[in-house]
Copies of this chain bind each other. A is one copy, B any other.
Amino acid sequence: MATEVDPIAEQQDRPLPDERLKEMLGTLMLCRYFDERMEALYRQGRLPGAFYSGRGQEGTHVGAATALRSNDSLFPTHRDLSAQLTKGLDLERVMAQYWGRIDGYLRGRDGNSHIGDWYGNRTFAVMSHLPIAYPVACGAALAYKRAGDDRIALAICGDGSTSNGRWHEALNMSAVLQLPVVWVVNNNQFAYSAPNPVEFHTATIAEKAAAYGMPGVRVDGGEVLEVFDAVRGAVERARNGGGPSLIESVSLRWRGHAGHDPATYMAPELLEEYMTLHDPVKNFQEKLLSWGVVTKDDIDTRSEQIVANFEAAHAFALASPFPEAGDAFLGNWTDDGYWTREPGRGGGTDAS
């Protein structure tokens, strides 16, 4: 059965030191700004490839990733770049990936949010097929359990992905083996154009946890601390040998499935409601202001930093060369050493 978490945000005692709360707000603001600017560049035809906006879901992404240690592993989807940014990915290299440049985390081999940084921030390089990283997360968790250390794996996927067989296999396997893994479902209420009722027949996703004999929790993705608290609880449980948990974080996908999608299938009232009442960035900003953790000035300063960092990263990305054509044929087998040496930087093309 799904158990509603008592929103810690309402409590007087704060879940984290002020510095970390401030940091969390900064991350939320960064993710929001990055998302808005990248989408704008996409619409102007200045951003190649695809763009999947995670706007409105930053509470889920930042709340979940904040509950992880740097050596815990994260298995995200195309929608979860904000979670990867929270985990620590470098803005410059992220943007270099969008522009297909050699300094991108995947050296230009993949684009957009199909990104990852295993050795640096322990994030799995996103793959399209949904939710194909879920079974992989079981494996990382298995390794932690075997090693007897207290690391954990956290995987995110969307509401629509829960109807896929891989989702079931991974949850079931993690329960049978009692693996240290946390399953987060970013229920943004749509799978591309499909609303929840087209994807599953239960009122919530959290209640499905019972079918695996694991706890299931449903939280408000508009409240980052509510998400953080629930995920932290699940993470602690996993670290201490308590096995897997499922967390459903509910929000709304504010934008289309990807940059090209006007999402005319979404009811304007619904969007209106979420943008006004469940904006994770606005809500948290107001909370910290009311708590006196930050001042209006702090926020303005942080905003300026973010804009500056974005511009710098954008410039870096555009200045980064394309991969050399010959690189296309390297890096399949470990033996050719492509991934252990610095890549050539002589690529040149005006494509994109």
Residues of A within 8 A of B (CB): 163-169, 172-173, 175-176, 178, 197-203, 207-208, 210-214
Contact = CB atoms under 8 A, between A and B. Distances in A.
Given A208-B211, A211-B208, A211-B210, A176 B164 contact: no
A139 to B, nearest CB: 16
A199 B212 contact: no
Given A210-B211, A211-B208, A212-B202, A164 B175 contact: no
Contact of A214 (B201, B208, B214): B201
Given A210-B210, A211-B210, A169 B176 contact: no
Contacts of A208: 211
A165 B165 CA distance: 3
A177 to B, nearest CB: 9
A163, A172, A207: which has the most chain B beta carbons within 10 Å? A172
Contact of A165 (B168, B200, B213): B168
Tell me the dominant secondary structure on chain A's binding face.
Answer: helix
A55 to B, nearest CB: 28
Contacts of A213: 200-203
Total copies of the chain: 2
A193 to B, nearest CB: 15
A169 B165 contact: yes
B165 A166 contact: yes
A39 to B, nearest CB: 31
8 contacts: A163-B173, A163-B176, A165-B165, A165-B168, A168-B168, A172-B200, A178-B201, A200-B213
Nearest to A166: B165
A11 B211 CA distance: 32
Contact of A168 (B167, B175, B178, B199): B167
Contact of A169 (B163, B175, B211, B212): B163
Contacts of A172: 163, 200-201
Nearest to A212: B201
A210 B213 CA distance: 12
Contacts of A175: 200-201
A298 to B, nearest CB: 45
A173 B165 CA distance: 11
Contacts of A169: 163-165, 168
B207 A210 contact: yes
Contacts of A207: 210-211
A211 B208 CA distance: 4
Contact of A176 (B168, B201, B203, B212): B201
A270 B207 CA distance: 34
Given A165-B169, A169-B163, A169-B165, A198 B176 contact: yes
Nearest to A176: B201
Contacts of A212: 200-202
A214 B164 CA distance: 18
Given A165-B165, A165-B169, A169-B165, A199 B176 contact: yes
Contacts of A198: 176
A211 B175 CA distance: 15
B176 A197 contact: yes
Contacts of A201: 172, 175-176, 178, 212-214
A203 B168 CA distance: 17
